[in-house]
Amino acid sequence: MMNRRQILATAAAAVLIAPLAVQAQGFPNKPVKVIVPFAPGGTTDIIARIMGERITPALGQTMLVENKAGGGGIIGANELAKSVPDGYTLGMATVSTVAANPAINPKTPYNPLTDFVPVINIAATPNVIAVHPSFPARDYKTFLEVLKKSPGRYSYATSGTGGIGHLQMELYKSLSGVFITHIPYRGAGPALNDTVAGQVPVIFDNLPSALPFIKDGRLIPIVVAAPQRLAVLPNVPTFKEIGLEPVNRMAFYGFVAPKGTPRDVVDKLGAAVRKTLEEPAVKKRIEETGSVIVANTPEQFAAQIKAEFEVYKKVVEVQKLALD
């Protein structure tokens, strides 16, 4: 038999658990907020807003997108980690926030493997190195020659220090033997604006946010990180083709919730996303950005996050990368 102390402890635990259980049963009964940890205009923002605009019929509630930029995605991701785990606050997880940045930044205030509950990986996208039309190269061979001829003369823009663009470009630099200076921004949107304006000559970006500028001729694509050549950029080689397979990694964008979010709430959210992604109009919009729809399970997404984190941790160790 339980003593009085055990009975009181059990009762207290039940009181704490009960509100989440009730919320799970009636979930969702108010709008769901999604924290995008980068400025508007980047791929993370684009994917989040496509979902936010189209998920209401499947979810039964509106989905509001809120941008919290800074720290290469750390500020927004940390806010999510500290949110109430009731399913009403989600975050967009990217390779930058749950792998690259935690791998290079020992002061990251959250653990990417334990402080979030993966919900669903929405899409994966190729990455691209692109240049301003004034840059003296239009193809990879000439690009490499220009950089090797003038080490330190050129700079490249990314969505932030410690992000996937930063670490992938640093890996590229170490493998190719070039030197080019990093200029970090508070998201892909601002980085693209300055590159398109000619203030920075080179950018490492996710393809969906860079593609409209490439199509308009305001950026010239040089090389892509993708499993094979892309239909939208048939003349642009992959990193694997140029002999740099370790750099040939795609980015991902998925929903994660704070640690402790009930599994049935996670399942409801995942089911709503999956149903939305089945809509031809949504599928078309995402695929038109150059992305591939993933729509996997929480367990599969957790395995992807762990694998990417380990890859970038090794990159940081082997290349002896550190924050400035």
- For the chain, domains (ranges, CATH) are 4-125+251-319 (3.40.190.150), 127-247 (3.40.190.10)
157 φ/ψ angles, rounded to the nearest 5 degrees: -100, 145
- 11-15, 23-27, 130-134, 248-252: range with highest mean pLDDT: 130-134
Which pLDDT band, with edges at 50, 70 and 90, does 21 fall under? very low
Q: Report the 3 state secondary structure along the chain.
A: CCCHHHHHHHHHHHHHHHHHHHHHHHCCCCCEEEEECCCCCCHHHHHHHHHHHHCHHHHCCCEEEEECCCHHHHHHHHHHHCCCCCCCEEEEEEHHHHHHHHHHCCCCCCCCCCCEEEEEEEEEECEEEEECCCCCCCCHHHHHHHHHHCCCCCEEEECCCCCHHHHHHHHHHHHHCCCCEEEECCCHHHHHHHHHCCCCCEEEEEHHHHHHHHHCCCCEEEEEECCCCECCECCCCECCCCCCHHHCCCEEEEEEEECCCCHHHHHHHHHHHHHHHCCHHHHHHHHHCCCEECCCCHHHHHHHHHHHHHHHHHHHHHHCCCCC
Q: Residue 103 is encoded by which pair of tokens?
A: 């791998």
For residues 186-201, b (16+ Cβ closer than 10 Å) or e, as one string? bbbbbbbbebbeeebb
In this prediction, what percent of the chain has a pLDDT beyond 90? 77
Sheet containing strand 127-131, strands side by side:
181-184, 155-158, 202-206, 127-131, 220-225
For residues 130-134, give the mean pLDDT: 98
Q: What is the tens place of the pLDDT at every residue in 180-210?
A: 999 999 889 999 999 999 999 999 999 989 9
Q: Tell me, what's the pLDDT at 323?
A: 76
Chain centroid, CA 221 distance in Å: 21
What tokens were used for 302? 């957790």
Q: Residue 9 — pLDDT band, cuts 50, 70, 90?
A: low
**pLDDT(15) > 70:** no
pTM for the predicted model, two decimal places: 0.81
Do residues 80 and 111 make contact, with C-beta atoms less than 8 angstroms apart? no
For residue 199, what are its two tokens?
A: 């203030």
User: Looking at residues 235-247, what average pLDDT do you find?
Assistant: 96
